[in-house]
Amino acid sequence: MKCVETGKGYRIFRDYILGIFPYYILEDTRQAQYKGGVWKDAKITDCYFKTLIQVRKMVSG
């Protein structure tokens, strides 16, 4: 799994299913709190069959 984009309050990771089909994981930490070395209430969203541009739009709106 590779981090393809890091922004203020979010990160987007990319990996492949069966080595062919890419999928993205969106980690949204805009509403989360960082306590004791751990993110509390970070939202993780799996984005299958979406492009990177579509995942970016999920963050902005």
Residues 9-44: pLDDT tens digits?
A: 899 999 999 989 999 999 988 888 888 888 888 888
User: Is the predicted pLDDT of residue 61 greater than 80, yes or no?
Assistant: no
Distance of alpha carbon 44 from alpha carbon 47, whole angstroms:
10
Residue 7's pLDDT is: 86
Bridge-based pairing state of the strands 43-48 and 21-28: antiparallel
pLDDT of residue 30: 84
